[in-house]
Structure 1
Amino acid sequence: MKEQTIEHFLTELSAKKSTPGAGGAAALVAALGSALGSMVGNFTIGKKKYQAVETEVEKIVDELEQIKLRLEELIQKDAEAFYPLAQAYKLPKETQSEIEYKENVIEEALVGASVVPIEIMENALRAIELLEQLSKIGNTMLIADAGTGIVFCKAALEGASLSVYINTASMKNKYKKEALNQEANQLLEKGTILATNVYQKISRSYKS
């Protein structure tokens, strides 16, 4: 899926199809945010003015590139994770044994469909943390780009959390449900607070 053109991906996303869906879109948005961070870093590296932080910025760019590549993979993995769930709902439920089997398969598929958006959230949060660093030490001419990257990653974080919650809402295993929700809640809270604070700081600097 990551080899598709932007036009083709958007066409597929808008079609009456289950995949790609919200999770894949969230991963793409987070990848865009990460790419913006890399751009800020690359416009910082090699400039005499930022020589003192060049090594640090190089490390940040390297990590952002790894995050971007992983998020590209997660676009496809999100689609793959949904397939078993869609198939599970089609299973017959005529007899008691069929009902029990279907419930077990659905439960397992719901967990699998929750794990991918959790990983998208993890990567989006880490990208926010790295972009926050760049907003402090990166090329001052591109701080707005770092801020935009943070906004993108925050949106991805929030969007991916909904993919978690919609799956856990159908889970019967309350312990697994609570564990996944708690993990998503923690990632969402940490990332949202950090992203909001950095965005406000950047926006205020242009308004003053």
Structure 2
Amino acid sequence: MNEGYREILSQISSSSPTPGGGSVAALVLAHAHSLALMVARLSKGRKISATGVEAADAVILSSESGADRAIVLAEKDAEAFDAVMRAYRLPKGDESDVSARNGEIRNATWGAAAVPLETAFEACELLVSIQKLAEHGNLNALTDLAASAELANTAAQIAAMNVRINLYSIEGEDVEIEAARIERLLATSNELVGMIRSIVSERLGW
């Protein structure tokens, strides 16, 4: 592990509130993409069915840029939370100030919910690809693919908590719509990782 990796961990463990859980969720997703990509490439190097090749190609197409997308989400999450903190520091001297401050807080909080929502969506998309590869991919690397699935599901779970805590503090019909969306994504993630676990257990005879 190089010093860059250690530096990221040092930033996470500092007394600063960012990067926090939302950024970590995205970084977990980056690891999930990287492991899935490794298994897809290993599978392409073995004699597998045409369906397996297609599944591996789908993972490669998505995950080659997946880790980079996830890292961008990690950065955006930290920026979004910093924006919330700035909004709370705005003056509240008169009614005009209070109204402007409340508007900024709502907008910033909405943004802070939107980023982990995207992380959860990306995690579910990856799980769909992993499921197909789990059925036909390289048997010798199947536990690595299972690890990727567990990481993707964990990313979705952490992201969902961050969506909930941000949406909880604001109101509106749009909030209710997004709250329902994250619950659907979470249910999808749980269902997919359960299916992948079953596939892995069956193929490995566990």
Normalising by the residue count of structure 2, what TM-score does the alignment of the two structures yield?
0.92
Q: Which residue of 1 aligns with 2:168?
A: 169
Task: Supply the distance in 2 between the matched residues of 1:169 and 1:176 (Cα, whole angstroms).
Answer: 12
Match of 2:109 in 1: 110
Please give the secondary structure, in 1, of the residue aligned with 2:17: coil
2:195 corresponds, among 172, 194, 197, to: 197
> Which consecutive residues of structure 2, in runs of 5 or more, have no partner in the other structure?
none
Aligned-residue offset at 1:67: 2.1
Deviation at 1:69, TM superposition (A): 1.8
Pairing 1:1-208 to 2, within 5 Å after superposition: 5-47=4-46, 49-50=47-48, 52=50, 53-171=52-170, 173-203=171-201, 205-206=203-204, 208=206
Aligned length: 203
3-state secondary structure, aligned to 2:90: coil
Conserved? CA contact 1:64–1:130, under 8 Å: no
**Cα RMSD for the two superposed structures:** 1.6
Q: Distance in 2 between matches of 1:58 and 1:143?
A: 16
Quote how far apart the aligned CAs of 1:101 are.
1.2
Return the alpha-carbon distance in structure 2 between the equivalents of residues 133 and 201 of structure 1. 10
Give the unaligned 5+ runs of structure 1.
Answer: none
Query: How far apart are the structure 1 equivalents of 2:35 and 2:187?
Result: 23
Poorly superposed stretches of 4+, deviation over 2 Å: 51-56, 203-208
TM-score by length of 1: 0.91
In structure 2, C-alpha distance between the alignment counterparts of 1:182 and 1:126, rounded to whole Å: 18
For residue 146 of structure 2, give the secondary structure of its aligned residue in structure 1.
Answer: helix
Letter in 2 for 1:175: E
Counterparts of 2:108 and 2:201 in 1: how far apart (Å)?
42
- 2-side partners of 1:188 and 1:113: how far apart? 18
* Contact preservation (8 Å) 2:55, 2:133: no
Q: CA deviation at 1:205?
A: 4.9
Cα deviation code 1:38-80 (max 9, x no counterpart): 1111111132x21633344223212122222211111111111
Separation (CA, whole Å) in 2 of partners of 1:28 and 1:108: 25
Contact 2:134 / 2:199 at 8 angstroms: preserved in 1?
no
